[in-house]
Structure 1
Amino acid sequence: MPGTWAIIVAAGRGSRLGTEIPKQYLRLGKHSILTHTLKKFLEHPLIDKILVVIHPDDNQLFQDSCPDYLDKVLLEQGGKTRQISVRNGLKALAVHTPDCVLIHDAARPFVSADVISILASTAQGGKACIAATPVVDSLKSASETEDSIKVKKSIKRDGLWHAQTPQAFPFTIIQKAHQSVSDQENHTDDAAIAETCGIDITLVPSDRNNIKITTTEDLRLAEVMIASSITKRSIMESRTGLGYDVHCFEAGDHVTLCGVDIPHTRKLKGHSDADVGLHALTDALLGALCEGDIGTHFPPSDPQWKDAMSDQFLAFAKNRVTKRSGKIIHVDVTLICEKPKIGPHREAMVARMAEILDISPSRVSIKATTSEKLGFTGREEGIAAQAVATIQIPAED
């Protein structure tokens, strides 16, 4: 499938850390380092698919340390160098014809969502780019002997940057670049390979938290950082969103309300299936997230949504909550109409909405009322719906 893919390079042995297993499979808090890294990309809205390049001997290690990702990522075998591993990954992706790709080290679990966003957007715009931080420490060139290390000269740090990953590229550009270099050159990152082909590289400012875990000291720092992030994530804030929708009747034999087809003398008119209940609730969830409304993400002017089932709109909103590490606490939908009668179908509606949202039916409320023969609903010209959604997401500064 076209789109934006991430290649996570996880084939290294991590010899400098001196552990029995490769560093990417070490525990960091409750999960492996690789799991933390995969989570950052899997939950990012601009990343469509993930391919993980692992060592040929690490299949069982991957299964044991990343059990939640076995059916969510593709696997490819790496080679004896990082360069070969990335090339293998690019070759495996070619059949999927991605538009662009982000290449990231498995041992960098702290990359921020904002950096991923900027890199992905830049690559989608046709430019190669890498995460980087400016050099802030004084630099010295040195000579080493058995007894000492001596300074030879100072080096100006102006214009110098520390290269990090992710490194993002339009797919065909980096694929051709990798194909043009030999294994003997052994470049240490993909930007260096792109440079040999004359490709301009844009720097995207990252932060120093995006460390690569290489030494025991790095691992200790990472443990402190993950403990701090867990504490921060445990502080949640509640959000409430409101939604409203209305559709008029037209000729037909049923209406779809809250995901359930109900026999009726007419149907609701709309570009999709015109499910006012799910439309209102979709807007309520998006409103709680401050992420626009249903028309922002599924414009009626787009022909692909003609006659679409509205459960996919609600599932999209639910997934946006999940991607923000949030939780749906309660939803409440009120249907306003004279007919059809809602009571006989309420239980099925509650069950269907709970299924779409992946929450307990005890967190779903559906009510119905009339407008006492007043207004367009009273004249039986259409149906209106109001919705309230309560969610929890990690507290923002």
Structure 2
Amino acid sequence: MTFSALIVAAGSGSRAGGDKQWRDLGGRPVLRWSAEALLNAGAQELIVVIAPDAQDRVAQALSGLSSWRAVTGGKTRAQSVRAGLAALSCPADQPVLIHDAARPLLAREVVDRLIAALKDADGALPALPVADSLRRGQDGRMAGVVERDGLWRAQTPQAFRRGVIEAAYAAWPVDETPTDEAVVVDRQGGRVVLVEGDPRLLKLTYPEDFAMAEALLPRQTRIGSGYDVHRWGPGGSVWLCGIEVPHDQTLIGHSDADAGLHALTDAILGAVAEGDIGDHFPPSDPKWKGASSDRFLVHAADLVKARGGRIVNVDVTLICEHPKVKPHRLAMRERIAGLLDLALDAVSVKATTSEGLGFTGRNEGLAAQAVATIDLPAAI
């Protein structure tokens, strides 16, 4: 069934520390999670109701998405909802889902249940039964028990046909403020049904709620590999895995030719499908001549963080006849751990020879291999 959607994102979010709809959750703005969920579920049009000064912020948050428009809301939720309804282009009999931007973890199954429920109801909302024992409090002391039988925790989105919710709002007393749209329709005698909600569909109200939402995000594990080679040339030291090692030769390259960090950078970039080191730091660009490879590695790690991910562990293998790596291995591990903000036991550096075979065996150059494991948020 075709439907339209409306996201209320005009509030200040003061209890959550302000501007919660624009804050990052798993590498994406909170608002974007809801917008993507509704559009992916089949929303024909999406109206996002924002504060008057939020035009630039919504454009940035929803960059790359289509079929959405932003309108300015009012001082109350009800005023914002009415502004959003007025901006819709759908007919009166089309379902409209009205959602809070502060509930980002919306699953497709919830949307499907709401749409199906409208076949024989005037409205539908997702809800969860109250599981905890309830107490009434007074002056910090227990002042009675509240029976939880028949009590439900209301969530959003809430679903109505456009004509039904607009007519109900038109009849709502101007001196009263409704808690949500289900109350508005129920007041006018409409039949509003409860459908199965989702525990992940929590509302971000307080700062600690963001940590809970992060923990609830579905995750995916990715692995990337990297490989790099540099030839030997005249010199008195060589950079390997971020450490300067005394040697009677050096590696030749446009930057500091740190093959270990180059391979590791490529491994991290590969795990997030962001190309390779040459795409980000072209050797043809003179600004990278002699540059420290630390910068390349940190850049790759920042790309992971920007997507709400984290590096789990890394493993680097240096392939060479000389110099001896073992005396410097701990320093290399410590350097990489510091650059990537990892525990030392999440960083492995080892070395091997090629038994005199190939270009490394002939001491013509040094090769490095690396593997990186990262953890990323996945779509719901």
Q: TM-score, normalised by structure 1?
A: 0.54
Q: Which amino acid aligns with 1:64?
A: Q
Q: Deviations over 1:103-134 (max 9, x none)?
A: 11011111221110010122255531100000
Tell me what 1:194 maps to: 185
| Secondary structure at the counterpart of residue 214 of structure 1 | coil
Q: Which has the larger Rg?
A: 2
Aligned to 2:17: 18
Partner of 2:163: 172
What percent identity do the matched residue pairs reach?
A: 36
* 1:9 and 2:4 matched: no
The answer on whether the counterparts of 1:3 and 1:98 sit within 8 Å (CA) in structure 2 is no
**Aligned mate of 1:48, from 35, 39, 44:** 44
Work out the CA distance in 2 between the residues paired with 1:187 and 1:64.
31
Q: After TM superposition, give the deviation of residue 98 of structure 1 in Å.
A: 5.5
Q: 3-state SS of the aligned residue for 1:48? A: strand
Contact kept in structure 2, 1:10 and 1:24, CA below 8 Å: yes
CA deviation after TM superposition for structure 1 residue 183, in Å: 4.2
SS of the equivalent of 2:35 reads helix
1:88 matched to 2:87? no
Amino acid at match of 1:31: R
Q: Kindly state the Cα deviation for residue 225 of structure 1 after the two structures are TM-superposed.
A: 2.1
Say which SS state the counterpart of residue 110 (structure 1) adopts: coil
In the TM superposition, residue 95 of structure 1 has moved relative to its aligned partner by 6.3
Query: CA 1:193/1:168 → structure 2, altered by over 3 Å: closer, same or farther?
Result: same
CA contact (8 A) 2:92 2:161 kept: no
One-letter amino acid matched to 1:151? M
Alpha-carbon shift at residue 185 of structure 1 (Å): 1.0
Deviation at 1:79, TM superposition (A): 0.4
In 1: Cα distance, 2:151 partner to 2:121 partner? 25
Partner of residue 72 from structure 1, selected from 67, 71, 74: 67
- Deviation per residue, 1:255-278 (Å, 9 max, x gap): xxxxxxxxxxxxxxxxxxxxxxxx
Residues of 1 paired with 2:90 and 2:27: CA distance? 35
Report how far residue 231 of structure 1 moved: 1.9
Structure 2 residue aligned with 1:61, among 43, 53, 57?
A: 57
Residue 102 (str. 1) matches residue 102 (str. 2): no
Query: Unaligned 5+ residue runs, structure 2?
Result: 224-376
- Once residues 199 and 217 of structure 1 are traced to their aligned partners in structure 2, the CA distance between those partners, rounded to angstroms, is 37
Aligned pair count reads 225
CA distance in 2, matches of 1:115, 1:13: 26
Deviation at 1:196, TM superposition (A): 1.2
Structure 2 distance, partners of 1:202, 1:95, is: 23
Deviates more, 1:174-183 or 1:54-63: 174-183
Aligned to 1:230: 219
Return the letter of the residue paired with 2:219. I
1:143 maps to 2:138: yes
CA distance, structure 1, for counterparts of residue 11 and residue 93 of structure 2: 25
Aligned partner (choices 132, 137, 160) of residue 127 of structure 2: 132
1:374 matched residue in structure 2: none
Are the structure 2 counterparts of residues 165 and 52 from structure 1 closer, same or farther at C-alpha, using a change threshold of 3 Å? Answer: same
- Contact 2:44 / 2:67 at 8 angstroms: preserved in 1? no
The 1:153–1:126 alpha-carbon spacing in structure 2 relative to 1, beyond 3 Å, is closer
Conserved? CA contact 2:121–2:193, under 8 Å: no
Letter in 2 for 1:29: G
Q: Deviations over 1:34-69 (max 9, x none)?
A: 111111111113x22211111111101111222123
Partners of 2:39 and 2:46 within 8 A in 1: yes
CA distance in 2, matches of 1:3, 1:93: 14
Name the CA distance, whole Å, in 2 between partners of 1:40 and 1:29: 14
Q: Distance in 2 between matches of 1:183 and 1:63?
A: 33
Q: Give, in whole Å, the separation in 2 of the partners of 1:135 and 1:128.
A: 21
CA RMSD of aligned residues (A): 2.2
Distance 1:209 1:57, change over 3 A: same
> Residue 3 of structure 1: CA displacement?
3.8
Give the secondary structure class of the aligned counterpart of 2:103: coil
What aligned pairs does 1:365-384 form with structure 2 within 5 A after superposition?
Answer: none
Q: Residues of 2 paired with 1:166 and 1:208: CA distance?
A: 14
Residue 297 of structure 1: aligned partner = none
**Alpha-carbon distance change, 83 to 56 in structure 1, aligned in 2, over 3 angstroms:** same
SS at match of 1:140: strand
Which secondary structure does the structure 2 equivalent of 1:91 belong to? helix
Question: Is 2:29 aligned against 1:32?
Answer: yes
- Partner of 2:67: helix, strand, or coil? coil
What secondary structure is seen at the aligned counterpart in 2 of 1:208? coil
Change (3 A) 1:94 1:64: closer
**Residues 360-397 of structure 1, C-alpha deviations (whole Å, 9 max, x = no match):** xxxxxxxxxxxxxxxxxxxxxxxxxxxxxxxxxx99xx
SS of structure 2 residue aligned to 1:52 = strand
The answer to whether the Cα contact below 8 Å between 2:91 and 2:162 also exists between their aligned partners in 1 is no
How far the C-alpha of 1:230 sits from its partner, in A, is 2.9
- How far off is 1:94 after superposition? 5.6
Letter in 1 for 2:168: A
